[in-house]
């Protein structure tokens, strides 16, 4: 979460510009505010226990829901909340990483009712979940996370030529083509930050 907050802050202007082109223009600011609030709560010893992955994700979920405006707050909040329910342990084996990514995807789909190809963050989360599942036999959960993050980045890039059929970007119809979906891009950033943190390179 610290790494994600730092990387999203660095990409705040990029995310905001993407959202300015096809959305409300506030995705970067909202995500920066939300993840900064998550870090603040994680660093507060008076907050709920943070001994398991699930407890951290649950705290992040409730914080994102209460601080992030627009569609991103409910979507990311639901994703993290679903993921928290399958990660109630201090560390995750390969199967646990798969369960986390799949549960996050399920939460986003349940909340947003989107499918692949509609130019939403699902276009990053769906390939991430598929790649994670394919890598489940890896001995190290980090390898699963790497596969998921790489697939999310590819999926986010693949939203550039798509015409949005879901969310605010769909109002632009053909004019939405040519811009990367900001939610898919922030997904790629967050999963890449998770890899960096797992490898000891994160904030």
- What percent of the chain shows pLDDT beyond 70? 99
Q: How far is CA 32 from CA 4, 35, 94, in A?
A: 9, 5, 29
Q: How confident is the model at residue 202, as a pLDDT?
A: 63
User: What ranges in the chain are assigned the alpha helix state H?
Assistant: 2-10, 12-22, 27-42, 53-67, 72-84, 94-112, 122-134, 141-157, 182-198
Please give the pLDDT value at position 48. 78
Low-confidence spans in the chain with pLDDT less than 50: none
pLDDT at 1: 96
d(C-alpha 172, C-alpha 57), whole Å:
34
- CA dist 182 and 19 (Å) reads 6
pLDDT at 102: 98
Q: What is the pLDDT of residue 175?
A: 87
| pLDDT for the residue numbered 77 | 97
Determine contact, residues 70/112, Cβ cutoff 8 Å: no
Confidence at residue 106, expressed as pLDDT on a 0 to 100 scale: 98
Q: What is the pLDDT of residues 72-103, one digit of tens each?
A: 999 999 999 999 999 999 999 999 999 999 99
Contacts 24+ apart (CB under 8 A), 170-178: 170/118, 170/119, 172/22, 175/22, 176/22, 176/119
Looking at residue 203, its pLDDT comes to: 63
Q: What is the mean pLDDT of the chain?
A: 95
């Amino acid at each position: 979460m610290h790494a994600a907050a730092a990387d999203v802050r660095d990409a705040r202007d990029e995310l905001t510009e993407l959202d300015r082109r096809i959305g409300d223009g506030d995705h970067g600011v909202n995500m920066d505010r939300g993840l900064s609030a998550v870090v603040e709560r994680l660093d507060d010893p008076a907050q709920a226990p943070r001994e398991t992955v699930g407890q951290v994700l649950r705290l992040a979920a409730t914080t994102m829901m209460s601080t992030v405006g627009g569609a991103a707050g409910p979507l990311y909040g639901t994703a993290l909340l679903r993921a928290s329910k399958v990660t109630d342990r201090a560390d995750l084996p390969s199967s646990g990483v798969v369960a986390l990514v799949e549960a996050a995807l399920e939460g986003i789909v349940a909340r947003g009712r989107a499918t692949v190809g509609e130019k939403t963050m699902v276009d990053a989360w769906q390939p991430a979940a598929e790649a994670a599942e394919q890598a489940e036999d890896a001995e190290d959960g980090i390898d699963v996370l790497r596969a998921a993050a790489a697939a999310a980045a590819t999926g986010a890039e693949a939203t550039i030529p798509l015409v949005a059929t879901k969310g605010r970007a769909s109002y632009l119809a053909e004019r939405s083509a040519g811009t990367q979906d900001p939610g898919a891009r922030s997904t790629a950033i967050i999963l890449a930050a998770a890899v960096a943190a797992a490898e000891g390179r994160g904030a």
